C-alpha cells in the first residue's frame, strides 16, 4: 500500500477526545460586523491564541482542550470585552459578542486565575502548551517529543527514550490528530514526530474515556493542526551541535477562504542516536528524514474535511559493547512509516456532531549484521500494513455530554528473523547454532464504546463502557467499564477526584508472532511457550487539584494498578530487537504530584514528584531467551521489582523572561535508580572487562539498584529580529550541564544496559513568517 493509494481512504476527523471548537462572531450595537482582534487564554491547558477576525467579524478556534478560558476581544474606539468561556463538548460552541462604543478611556484589569483549574474534570490532564513545545530542543535528534512527555509526573525513560507510564511497558497510546498509534513510538522502533510539527499536547495517566483502548498505560494526545489563517505563513529552521548533530526543517502553510494547505519536510543526523551500553559510544550514527502534506477545508458551517499524508524514515546503527567493538561488529537498523488519513465532520445541529475517519499505515523495520558480529549474527525484517476506521457521534443535551462510537483495525503482520551463533562459548550446550523464522498473520480488532459526562451542580460524574475484540495470535474479548467523579469546592478552590478504569490491553505487536510461536521451543524449550494474551488491568485513582494564590495549581494523584498477564519486553542480546513477554501478574502503586506556575510575573515553570512501587509475579511467557538469560527465567517463580521500579523521581523547570525578546530556562531531573537483576555471585572482573570500571562504579550491587541519576539542562532563546509577522529566533540548549555519568539500566535480564547521554549542546536558528 503506497502513499498514492492512502488518500483513497475517507472518513471523519474528531480530533482529540476531550477537545472542542469555539466559533466567535463580533458586532457593534447595531448588529454591524466588527473586525476585531484579541486573545484566548487558559492557564490550565497552557493555551494562548492570538487572533484576528475576518471582515465578517468571525473567527473559529479548533482543537481546544476542555476547561475554562479567558476570551479578550478589542476594536479601536470600542470598549474591550473580557469574559470567561467554558469548553465542555465536542459539539461546536457559538459565541456572539456585541462591543459598545467607548465613552471614555478605561483600564480593564484582567487575570487568568479563573482558568487555573477545571472544576468539572474527573481526572488530571497534564497540558504541554505551544510555547513549551516551541522552546523544546534536544541535543539528540528524535527525542524532543519524548522529552516533553517524560517531564510529566508518572513517566520515566528506560534505554533509548522508551516511555514507561506508571510502570507499564509498551503501553503508551499516541493519538496524533485523532489517529491512534499504539505501536512503540520510541526512536529505536519508529520514526520520530518533530516538535516543529506539534501545536500542543495533553498527557493522561488515568481516568481514560471509554473511547480509548488497546494501549492504556498512558495516553499522549498530540495536535499538529492550527486554526485556519489566510495568507502564506510558516517556519524554517537549521541547527547543529554536539555529537555531529545537524538538523533542518521547513514548513509552509497557505490559507485562503476556509481552506489551508500545509507542506513540511525535515532532516536530521547525529553520531549519538541510541543510548550505548558503554562509554565508547561505538557505532551509533543515525539519520532521519520525513515529509508531510496536509489539506484542511471548511466546506460549510456544518462540514469539514481533513486530508494528510506523511513519510518518515530512520537509518541508524546499533551501539556496540567493548568486546563487540574489538571484534569488528556492525549492526544496522532502519524504520519507515507511511501514513495517510482522510476525515470529515458533520454538524447536524447545535447539539449533535458526527465524526468519521479512516487511515492507512505502513510501518516496517529491518536489522542486519556483518559477519564479525558476536556472540550472534542476526537479521530481521518485520512490518505491518494497517487499515483503521472510526466513527463517533457526540451529543450535548441538558446536563449530559454523550459520545458513542466504534472503530476497527485490519492489519496483515509479517515477521522474519534468523541468527547464526558466532561464539558458542556464550551459550548453553545444545543451543541450536542457527535459527530461521518466518510467519504472516492477520490482525483484526474491533471496539465499540459509549460514555456520558453529567453535571449536577458542583458534582460531575462520568460513566462509560467499552467492548474490545482482539484476534491475532489468540482471540479474546472483554467489556471495560470506566467511572469517574469530581466535586468542586469553590470557596477553597479545590476539586476532589476519583476514578476507576477497567483495561483490556493488547500485546505489543513488535515480534509478537515469534514470541508466541512453538517453533522457538527448539531454542529455549524450558521457557513457558504459550501465545501471549491481552493484559487485564484494574486502575484505581483518587486525588485533588487546587488553585494557589491565583497563580499556581497543585495536582496530586494516588493510584493502584493490578494486572493479570502483565506485559513487558525482553531485549535480545544487545541487538536492539525486543520481544514481548508477559508475567503472571503485577501490582503497581504510587503517587504523582505536580505544582505548576503557568505565569507569575516574569517567571513560569513546574515542580513534580513521583513515588512508585511495582512488583511482578513469575513465571514469564513469550520472549526469546538464549544463554545466561534462559537460566534467569527457567523454573523461576515468585515476585520481583519490575524493571521500571524507580521509587523516587523528581523534575523541575524554571523559566524567566529576561526581556521581551529574551528568555532563559533551567530543567533539573532526579531519579533514585532502576533495579539491577544479577543472579549469583557478582564477577566484577568480567563485568569491568565488558562495560568498564566507571560504569561498574555507578551500580550499587548490594542494594540491587543503579545509583541515583541527576541531570541539569540550561536553555535560552532570543528574538534577534522581529517585524510584524516575521521573527528570526535563536535558541540554544546545554544538556547534562555537569557532565554526570548516569547509568539508565545495567545488565538487566529484560532491559540490558544503557548509558544516558553525556554533556551536549545544540543551537537552532528559526525563522517564522
The model's pLDDT over 726-755, given as tens digits with 9 standing for 90+, comes to: 999 999 999 999 999 999 988 766 667 899
- Is residue 591 scored above 80 in pLDDT? yes
Judged by DSSP in three states, 470 sits in strand
Is pLDDT above 90 for 725? Answer: no
Distance CA 288, CA 22 (A): 37
Residue 200 — pLDDT band, cuts 50, 70, 90?
confident
Residue 374 sits at φ, ψ, to 5 deg, of -150, 145
Q: What sign has the CA pseudo-torsion 269, 274, 280, 282?
A: negative
C-alpha cell at 267: 532532516
* Stronger pLDDT, 635 or 688, i.e. the higher one: 688
How far is Cα 305 from Cα 298, in angstroms, rounded to an integer?
A: 7
Nearest to 114 by CA among 188, 14, 44: 44
* Of 723, 720, 717, 727, residue with least CA distance to 763: 717
Position with higher pLDDT, 530 vs 270: 270
- pLDDT score recorded for residue 310: 93
**pLDDT(5) > 60:** no
Helix H or strand E encompassing 150: helix 144-150
How far is it, in rounded angstroms, from Cα 569 to Cα 573?
Answer: 13
pLDDT higher than 90, residue 317: yes
Q: What is the mean pLDDT of residues 68-93?
A: 90
Task: Find the range with the poorest average confidence among 92-106, 456-470, 522-536.
Answer: 522-536
Q: Is the pLDDT of residue 171 over 80?
A: yes
The pLDDT of 118-140, averaged and rounded, is 89
CA pair distance 557, 594, nearest whole angstrom? 9
Among the ranges given (66-70, 187-191, 270-274, 688-692), the one the predictor scored with the smallest mean pLDDT? 187-191
Q: Please tell me the least confidently modeled range out of 41-45, 101-105, 282-286.
A: 101-105
Q: How many CB atoms sit inside 10 A of residue 720's CB?
A: 12
Average pLDDT over residues 315-322: 92
Which has the closest alpha carbon to 17: 163, 177, 205? 177
Determine the average pLDDT of the residues in 245-266: 93
Q: Does the bond joining 375 to the residue before it have cis omega, within 30 degrees of 0? A: yes
Half-sphere exposure of 554 (CA within 13 A, CB side): 11
Q: How confident is the model at residue 12 (pLDDT cuts 50, 70, 90)?
A: very low
Assign 633 a pLDDT band (cuts: 50, 70, 90).
Answer: low
What pLDDT shows up at residue 526?
56
**Residue (of 678, 740, 686) closest to 703 by Cα position:** 678
Interacting residues of 306 by C-beta distance below 8 A, sequence separation 6+: 13, 177, 225, 294, 295, 296, 341, 342, 343, 344
Per residue in 405-444, pLDDT (tens digit) is: 999 999 999 999 998 989 888 777 777 888 899 999 999 9
> Confidence band (pLDDT; 50, 70, 90) for 11?
very low
Burial 322-339 (b: 16+ CB within 10 A, else e): bebeebebbbbbbbbbbb
Q: Which of 449, 464, 462, 547 is nearest to 498 (CA)?
A: 462
What whole-number distance in Å separates Cα of residue 155 and Cα of residue 158?
10
344/547 Cα distance (integer angstroms): 38
| Beta strands per DSSP E along 197-258 | 200-204, 218-223, 231-241, 245-256
Burial 373-385 (b: 16+ CB within 10 A, else e): bbbbbbbbbbbbb
How far apart CA 219 and CA 205 sit, in angstroms, is 6
**What is the average per-residue pLDDT within 181-194?**
80
Q: What are the phi and psi torsion angles at 741 (to 5°)?
A: -80, 115
Instruction: Note the residue count of the chain.
Output: 769
Candidate from 124-128, 636-640, 648-652, 696-700 with smallest mean pLDDT: 636-640
Q: What is the mean pLDDT of the chain?
A: 88
Determine which of 20-34, 298-312, 504-518 has the lowest per-residue pLDDT on average: 504-518
- Confidence (pLDDT) at 187: 83
pLDDT for the residue 681: 62
Residue 635 CB-density burial (10 A; 0-12 exposed, 13-18 middle, 19+ buried): exposed
- Per-residue cell: 434: 542457527
Looking up cell 518485520 gives 382
C-alpha distance from residue 674 to each of 579, 586, 681, 708 (Å): 20, 17, 20, 8
What's the grid cell of residue 449? 464504546
Percent over 70 (pLDDT), the chain = 92
Q: Which of 335, 337, 334, 356 is nearest to 346 (CA)?
A: 356
Question: Highest mean pLDDT range out of 48-62, 617-631, 675-689?
Answer: 48-62
Task: Compute the distance between CA of residue 123 and CA of residue 429 in angstroms, rounded to an integer.
Answer: 54
Please report the pLDDT score of residue 112 as a whole number.
75
Count other Cβ atoms within 10 Å, centred on residue 602. 11
648-659 and 662-671 beta bridge pairing: antiparallel
| Contact (CB, 8 A) for 243 and 212 | no
The three state secondary structure string of 476-505 is: EEEEEEEEEEEEEECCCCEEEEEEEEEEEE
Map residue 687 onto helix, strand or coil: helix
Whether the CA torsion 586, 592, 598, 604 is positive or negative: it is: negative
Would you tell me how many other CB atoms lie within 10 Å of the CB of residue 480?
Answer: 22
Distance of CA 331 to the CA centre of its chain: 28
C-alpha cell at 20: 472542542
Nearest CA to 574 out of 751, 371, 757 is that of: 751
Q: What is the mean pLDDT of residues 236-265?
A: 93
The pLDDT tens digits of the residues spanning 207-236 come to 999 999 999 999 999 888 677 888 899 999
* Over residues 587-596, mean pLDDT: 96
The confidence score (pLDDT) of residue 192 equals 76
Least confident of 457-471, 507-521, 559-573, 727-741: 507-521
Q: Which of 23-37, 392-406, 528-542, 594-608 has the weakest average pLDDT?
A: 528-542
DSSP one-letter code for 462: E
- C-alpha span between 609 and 628 (Å, rounded): 37
In sequence order, what DSSP letters do the residues of 511-553 get, joined into one string? THHHHT-GGGGGT-TTSB--PPPPEEEEEEEEEEEEEETTTEE
pLDDT tier at 273 (50, 70, 90 boundaries)?
Answer: very high
pLDDT at res. 7: 32
Determine the pLDDT at residue 596.
95
In 3D, which of 624, 120, 130, 272 has the Cα closest to residue 419?
624
**Gap between the Cα atoms of 129 and 201, Å rounded:** 7
423 - beta bridge partners? none
173 forms beta bridges with: 219
172-176 and 218-223 strand pairing:
parallel
The predicted structure's pLDDT at residue 628: 53
pLDDT tens digits, 331-372: 999 999 999 999 999 999 989 999 999 999 999 999 999 999
The angle formed by the CA atoms of residues 332, 171 and 542, to the nearest 5 degrees, is 150
- Is the per-residue pLDDT at 446 higher than 70? yes
Taking a C-beta distance cutoff of 8 angstroms, is the pair 566, 584 a contact? Answer: yes
Question: Residue 500, by phi and psi: left (phi above 0), alpha (psi -120 to 50) or beta?
Answer: beta
pLDDT of residue 228: 80
- Contact predicate 741/755, CB 8 Å: yes
- The closest alpha carbon to 514, from 501, 523, 505, 506, belongs to 523
Residue with cell 489551508: 260
C-alpha Rg value of the chain to the nearest Å: 26
Is a pLDDT exceeding 80 seen at residue 574? no
> Are β-strands 93-99 and 352-369 bridged in parallel, bridged antiparallel, or unpaired?
unpaired
Amino acid at each position: 500500500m503506497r502513499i498514492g493509494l492512502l488518500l483513497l481512504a475517507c472518513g471523519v476527523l474528531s480530533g482529540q477526545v476531550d477537545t472542542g471548537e469555539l466559533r466567535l462572531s463580533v458586532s457593534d450595537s447595531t448588529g454591524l460586523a466588527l473586525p476585531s482582534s484579541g486573545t484566548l487564554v487558559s492557564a490550565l491547558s497552557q493555551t494562548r491564541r492570538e487572533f484576528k477576525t475576518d471582515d465578517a467579524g468571525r473567527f473559529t478556534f479548533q482543537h481546544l482542550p476542555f476547561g475554562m478560558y479567558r476570551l479578550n476581544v478589542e476594536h479601536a474606539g470600542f470598549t474591550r470585552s473580557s469574559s470567561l468561556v467554558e469548553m465542555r463538548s465536542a459539539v461546536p460552541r457559538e459565541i456572539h459578542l456585541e462591543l459598545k462604543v467607548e465613552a471614555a478611556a478605561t483600564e480593564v484589569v484582567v487575570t487568568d486565575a479563573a482558568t487555573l483549574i477545571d472544576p468539572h474534570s474527573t481526572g488530571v490532564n497534564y497540558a504541554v502548551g505551544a510555547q513549551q513545545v516551541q522552546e523544546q530542543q534536544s541535543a539528540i535528534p528524535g527525542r524532543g517529543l519524548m522529552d516533553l512527555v517524560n517531564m510529566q509526573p508518572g513517566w520515566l525513560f528506560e534505554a533509548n527514550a522508551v516511555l514507561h507510564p506508571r510502570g507499564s511497558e509498551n503501553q503508551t497510546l499516541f493519538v496524533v490528530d485523532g489517529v491512534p498509534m499504539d505501536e512503540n513510538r520510541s526512536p529505536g522502533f519508529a520514526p520520530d514526530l518533530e516538535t516543529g510539527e506539534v501545536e500542543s499536547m495533553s498527557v493522561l495517566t488515568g481516568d481514560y474515556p471509554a473511547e480509548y483502548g488497546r494501549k492504556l498505560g498512558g495516553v499522549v494526545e498530540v495536535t499538529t493542526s492550527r486554526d485556519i489563517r489566510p495568507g502564506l505563513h510558516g517556519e524554517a529552521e537549521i541547527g547543529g551541535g554536539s555529537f555531529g548533530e545537524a538538523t533542518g526543517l521547513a514548513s509552509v502553510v497557505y490559507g485562503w477562504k476556509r481552506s489551508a494547505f500545509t507542506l513540511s519536510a525535515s532532516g536530521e543526523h547525529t553520531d549519538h542516536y541510541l543510548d550505548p551500553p558503554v562509554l565508547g559510544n561505538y557505532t551509533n550514527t543515525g539519520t532521519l528524514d520525513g515529509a508531510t502534506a496536509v489539506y484542511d477545508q471548511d466546506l460549510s458551517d456544518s462540514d469539514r474535511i481533513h486530508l494528510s499524508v506523511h513519510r518518515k524514515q530512520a537509518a541508524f546503527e546499533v551501539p556496540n559493547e567493548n568486546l563487540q567493538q574489538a571484534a569488528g561488529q556492525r549492526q544496522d537498523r532502519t524504520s519507515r512509516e507511511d501514513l495517510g488519513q482522510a476525515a470529515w465532520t458533520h454538524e447536524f445541529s447545535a447539539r449533535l456532531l458526527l465524526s468519521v475517519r479512516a487511515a492507512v499505515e505502513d510501518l516496517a523495520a529491518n536489522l542486519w549484521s556483518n559477519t564479525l558480529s558476536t556472540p550472534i549474527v542476526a537479521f530481521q525484517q518485520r512490518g505491518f500494513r494497517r487499515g483503521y476506521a472510526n466513527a463517533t457521534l457526540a451529543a450535548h443535551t441538558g446536563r449530559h455530554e454523550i459520545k458513542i462510537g466504534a472503530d476497527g483495525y485490519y492489519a496483515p503482520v509479517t515477521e522474519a528473523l534468523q541468527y547464526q551463533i558466532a561464539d558458542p562459548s556464550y551459550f548453553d550446550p545444545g543451543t541450536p547454532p542457527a535459527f530461521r523464522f518466518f510467519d504472516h498473520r492477520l490482525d483484526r480488532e474491533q471496539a465499540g464504546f459509549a460514555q456520558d459526562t453529567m453535571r449536577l451542580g458542583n458534582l460531575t460524574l462520568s460513566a462509560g463502557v467499552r467492548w474490545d475484540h482482539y484476534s491475532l495470535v489468540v482471540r479474546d474479548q472483554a467489556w471495560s467499564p470506566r467511572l469517574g467523579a469530581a466535586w468542586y469546592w469553590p470557596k477553597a478552590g479545590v476539586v476532589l477526584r476519583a476514578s476507576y478504569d477497567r483495561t483490556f490491553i493488547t500485546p505489543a505487536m513488535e515480534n509478537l508472532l515469534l514470541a508466541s510461536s512453538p517453533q522457538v521451543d527448539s531454542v529455549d524449550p524450558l521457557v513457558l511457550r504459550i501465545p501471549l494474551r491481552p493484559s487485564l488491568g484494574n486502575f484505581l485513582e483518587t486525588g485533588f487539584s487546587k488553585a494557589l494564590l491565583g497563580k499556581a495549581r497543585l495536582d496530586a494523584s494516588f493510584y493502584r494498578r493490578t494486572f493479570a498477564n502483565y506485559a513487558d519486553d525482553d531485549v535480545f542480546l544487545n541487538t536492539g530487537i525486543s520481544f514481548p513477554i508477559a508475567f503472571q501478574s503485577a501490582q503497581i502503586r504510587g503517587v504523582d504530584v505536580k505544582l505548576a506556575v503557568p505565569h507569575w510575573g516574569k517567571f513560569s515553570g513546574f515542580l513534580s514528584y513521583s513515588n512508585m512501587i511495582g512488583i511482578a509475579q513469575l513465571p514469564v511467557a513469550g520472549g526469546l531467551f538464549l544463554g545466561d538469560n534462559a537460566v534467569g527465567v527457567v523454573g523461576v517463580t515468585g515476585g520481583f521489582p519490575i524493571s521500571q521500579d524507580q521509587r523516587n523521581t523528581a523534575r523541575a523547570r524554571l523559566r524567566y523572561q529576561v526581556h521581551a525578546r529574551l528568555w532563559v530556562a533551567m530543567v533539573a531531573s532526579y531519579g533514585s535508580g532502576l533495579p539491577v537483576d544479577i543472579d549469583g555471585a557478582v564477577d566484577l572482573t568480567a563485568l569491568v572487562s565488558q562495560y568498564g570500571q566507571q560504569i561498574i562504579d555507578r551500580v550499587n550491587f548490594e542494594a540491587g539498584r543503579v545509583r541515583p541519576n541527576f541531570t541539569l539542562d540550561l536553555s535560552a532563546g532570543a528574538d534577534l529580529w522581529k517585524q510584524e509577522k516575521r521573527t528570526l529566533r535563536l535558541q540554544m540548549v546545554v544538556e547534562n550541564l555537569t557532565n554526570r555519568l548516569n547509568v539508565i539500566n545495567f545488565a538487566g535480564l529484560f532491559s540490558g544496559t544503557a548509558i544516558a547521554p553525556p554533556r551536549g549542546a545544540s543551537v537552532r536558528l528559526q525563522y517564522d513568517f
